[in-house]
Amino acid sequence: MLETFLQVVVNGLMLGGLFAIISIGLTTIFGIIKVVNFAHGEFLMAGMFLTWLFTTKLGLHPYAAVVVVAPVLFVLGGLTQKLLIQPLMNARDEHIQIFATVGLSTAMINLALLIYGADIANTPAYGLRTPLEFGPIRVLEGQLFILGAAILLVIGMELFLRRSRTGLAIRAVAQNRTAAQLMGINVNWIYVLSFGLGAACVGIASVLVAPLYPTSSNIGTYFVLIAFVVVILGGWGSIPGAFVGAMVIGLIDSLSGFYIGADLREAVVFGVFLVILILRPSGLFGTKQKLSHIS
Amino acid sequence: MSRKGFLTSTAIALSLMTGQAMAEIKFGALYPFSGQLALLGEESARGLEIAVDEVNANGGVQGEQIVLERGDAVDNNQAIGEARRLISLAGVKAIFGTYSSSRSIAASQVAELSGIPYFELGAVADDVTGRGLQYLFRTNPTAEDMGELIVQMVVEKVAPSLGKEPGDLKIGIIHEDSAYGTSVAGHQERYGEEAGLNIVTTQGYPASTVDMSSIVLSLKQREVDVVFQTSYQNDSVLFLQQANEAGFEPAAIIGGGGGYSMLPTAEAVGNDVIEGVLDADFTQYAVNTDFTPGLEAFVETYKEKYGETPRSGHSLNNYVGALAILEALDGAEDLEPDTIVEAMAGIDVQEGDTAAGYGIKFGVNNQNERASMMGMQWQDGQLVTVYPDAGAVTEMKLGN
């Protein structure tokens, strides 16, 4: 019994790692630009298709694809900000940005359907699906890499935002757009950079996820809801919060799925999510809502 | 009337008559041709097109050539809109479709109200024929047939090959929790209980799940011998992979249609993992052709027309249904809705006389009561028919 319990917990932690790696980009973009990116899942889908192309056409390890996928998604994210979000930044109603990203999401799904069809595309696993056994506990090699990468990415992003000059500028813009502008920071450029950065995080996630999950045009929709839950639970815009939120959701998902029943696990996950939100409306790591976009 | 006038009117009348002999009749082909379901929607429509070509080559229906008017049922709303367009603008005499159950249920409602016959050749949900519609006929097997076949296969084949009594096997049912998976699982439970099977657990999960490890662990802990899964593609892949990785090796896994019949699924999980996995689905191509006369000719025609081999059994099953219906229409007096309904009642094709194996006779709710699925198994990277014996090309291989 104890062995099963440990396995369930480990499964939950691995699931948490997966949720964390796909949520970091979303929370980054929201924390800085205050835009809820509903096309987040489709960025992941695009990254996974790129990884698949890179791996199958060039015969290289999927992780090596990161040198292509992360920069491509950086550019894609930057362009999204520059061409789609920026013109709407000063719209009277900020909800317009939300509709814009929803539109982008639908457009990307249908574009992928057009290019790749409705079938699944399999990225070769290169041994990443090999189960490693620690006593009675089994985990996949690829899952461990995802968890490790999620931890490193959280630390890396935090260091970048707190220590580097650009990072400080980004945080200044996030805290108060107008004041930052008065200090001589090019706010629009920082936004483009930040969206690109968030999208590049999704790029890193996609090379890690692609060898473990078949890619399809609607794969983004599988992950996006849980990413939103994780980010809200952690506190919008908090990167360490997203990590902790992901672990919490992963554990609840795994434990309830086994001990309560697969049929009820979503009810439990979202029930706990609602309770936490009622007790802490700004999320686990959230601070008072920053209103820089209207300042 | 002057003589000249008489000649002229005779000439006009003659030309009208010959004109009528060359006339065309329009039927609607309502399938999802774009969007998420486009691949198998198109595949289904190809079966209908081949049946129409064949009937046209043999003189058409009641001496008239058939023309198919396509309607794109990309979602439920558009299925309704396209059904309206086909009926009122294109003036079709009947609609054939639809592959997707939800589109079929929506569009057939419109046809029923307009009194236009609707022929369903591929959607499996119970509710398609469960609503007591007068003008809807379905030729293909249903969710219920799938549940029934899986249970029969366990009793007649799986248990004997494992050297056990059916009642001694622990059965675990898992299913995606939309109407499709839930209804098949319900039939599996019902037929399973009737057959005295020991079903130890039934678990639903959302089709968009990204993790099934807790389900796998739960089945493993209950020492389940045979797993029934009703699923789409992603969750089929996920379950097979995660079961393998968790070291869960049930004596048999039986999938229901969807993901389990498709080559990309086998590619995703690997041939060694999918080896031996069973599957209930529409008739596929690796089948005993003595039981499915006309199948080889169908595949040849398909290759000629589309330049590739059929991508799934959907085209075959649409072909078989459409052909039987069109032949019956040919024998009717006209194409008025009530004449068509009468003609359908006369269809009586025996099992083993169609390219899909199953016979055709419309019973309660205009459902083809002779429709049945077949049991397939993945062997050496191929999906081969193993059940029933009449359709089998090889023995079922189970156990070590």
Dist. CA B351–CA B360, nearest whole Å = 8
* Burial class of residue A17, CB neighbours in 10 A (0-12, 13-18, 19+): buried
Residue B399 lies in a domain: no
When pLDDT is averaged across residues A113-140 and rounded to a whole number, the result is 88
Q: Which residues of B185-224 are buried (b: 16+ CB within 10 A; e: fewer)?
A: bbbbbebbeeeebebebbbbbbbbbbbbbbbbbbbbeeeb
The Cβ-side half-sphere exposure at A10, using a 13 Å CA radius, reads: 20
pLDDT for position B12: 56
Dist. CA A193–CA A197, nearest whole Å = 6
**Residue-wise pLDDT tens digits, B24-55:** 999 999 999 987 788 889 999 999 999 999 99
- Mean residue pLDDT across chain B: 91
- Provide, as residue numbers in chain B, all residues whose Cβ is less than 8 Å from the Cβ of A222: 208-210, 234
When pLDDT is averaged across residues A256-282 and rounded to a whole number, the result is 89
Instruction: Tell me what ipTM this predicted complex has.
Output: 0.86
**Residue-wise pLDDT tens digits, A146-167:** 999 999 999 999 999 999 999 9
Cα distances from A7 to residues A4, B118, B159, B241, in angstroms, run: 5, 52, 31, 17
Instruction: For chain A, say whether B400 makes contact (Cβ under 8 Å).
Output: no
Query: Does the pLDDT of residue A262 top 50, yes or no?
Result: yes
pLDDT for position A291: 45
Q: What 8-state DSSP symbol labels residue B262?
A: -
Dist. CA B159–CA B345, nearest whole Å = 39
Residue of A4, A7, A119 lying closest to B39 (CB–CB)? A119
Cα distances from B215 to residues A66, B90, B131, B229, B259, in angstroms, run: 32, 50, 34, 12, 18
Residues present in chain A in total: 295
Q: How far apart are the first and last CA of chain A?
A: 56
Instruction: For chain A, say whether B247 makes contact (Cβ under 8 Å).
Output: yes
Instruction: For chain B, say whether A103 makes contact (Cβ under 8 Å).
Output: no
In which residue are the tokens 């084949």 written?
Answer: B157
Dist. CA B120–CA B124, nearest whole Å = 9
Instruction: For chain B, say whether A56 makes contact (Cβ under 8 Å).
Output: no
pLDDT for position B3: 57
Q: Residue B65 phi/psi, 5° resolution?
A: -80, 140
Q: What percent of chain B has pLDDT over 70?
A: 94
pLDDT for position A114: 86
Residue B400 lies in a domain: no
Class for domain A2-279, per CATH?
mainly alpha
**Residue-wise pLDDT tens digits, B107-139:** 999 999 999 999 999 999 899 998 989 999 999
Same domain, B153 and B135: no
Cβ distance of A221 and B208 shorter than 8 Å: yes
Q: Into how many domains does chain B fold?
A: 2
Residue B396 lies in a domain: no
pLDDT for position A240: 93
Instruction: Choose among B239, B184, B191, B187: nearest CA to B217.
Output: B239
Instruction: For chain A, say whether B271 makes contact (Cβ under 8 Å).
Output: no
Contact between B64 and B131 under an 8 Å Cβ cutoff? The reply is no
Same domain, B111 and B154: no
Same domain, B159 and B111: no
Domain that holds residue B314: 3-141+291-369
Contact between A277 and A232 under an 8 Å Cβ cutoff? The reply is yes
Same domain, B127 and B152: no
Token couple for A17: 């790692």
CB atoms within 10 A of CB B64: 17
Cα distances from B8 to residues B2, B11, B231, B323, in angstroms, run: 10, 5, 67, 42
Instruction: For chain B, say whether A11 makes contact (Cβ under 8 Å).
Output: yes
- Return the HEC string of B344-361: HHCCCECCCCCCCCCCEC
Query: Does the pLDDT of residue B1 top 70, yes or no?
Result: no
Cβ distance of B38 and A118 shorter than 8 Å: yes
Instruction: Choose among A23, A22, A26: nearest CA to A195.
Output: A26
Same domain, B239 and B187: yes
Q: Tell me the residue type at B42.
A: E
Same domain, B21 and B130: yes
Domain CATH for B271: 3.40.50.2300
**Residue-wise pLDDT tens digits, B315-358:** 999 999 999 999 999 999 999 999 999 999 999 999 999 999 99
Q: What percent of chain A has pLDDT over 70?
A: 97
Same domain, B202 and B263: yes
Cα distances from B228 to residues A29, B82, B183, B269, in angstroms, run: 43, 37, 13, 18
- Provide, as residue numbers in chain A, all residues whose Cβ is less than 8 Å from the Cβ of B32: none
Dist. CA A187–CA A174, nearest whole Å = 10
Cβ distance of A118 and B267 shorter than 8 Å: no
Same domain, B274 and B297: no
**Residue-wise pLDDT tens digits, A250-260:** 999 999 999 99
For B69, left (φ over 0), alpha (ψ -120 to 50), or beta? beta
Instruction: For chain B, say whether A262 makes contact (Cβ under 8 Å).
Output: yes
Give A283's pLDDT tier (boundaries 50, 70, 90).
Answer: confident
Same domain, B80 and B186: no
Residue B303 lies in a domain: yes
Single pTM value for the model = 0.86
Same domain, B184 and B330: no
Q: What 8-state DSSP symbol labels residue A80?
A: I
Same domain, B135 and B148: no
Q: Residue B2 phi/psi, 5° resolution?
A: -70, 165
Could you give the 3-state DSSP secondary structure of residue B379? strand
B374-379, strands of its sheet edge to edge: B198-205, B170-176, B226-230, B252-256, B278-281, B374-379, B382-387
Same domain, B36 and B151: no
Dist. CA A152–CA B4, nearest whole Å = 98
- Provide, as residue numbers in chain B, all residues whose Cβ is less than 8 Å from the Cβ of A110: 35
When pLDDT is averaged across residues B368-388 and rounded to a whole number, the result is 94
pLDDT for position A231: 92
Q: Which residues contact B309 (CB under 8 A, 6 or more apart)?
A: B299, B302, B303
For chain A, what are the domain ranges? 2-279
Number of H helices, E strands in chain B: 14, 12
Instruction: Choose among B45, B29, B43, B52: nearest CA to B118.
Output: B29
Contact between B394 and B161 under an 8 Å Cβ cutoff? The reply is no
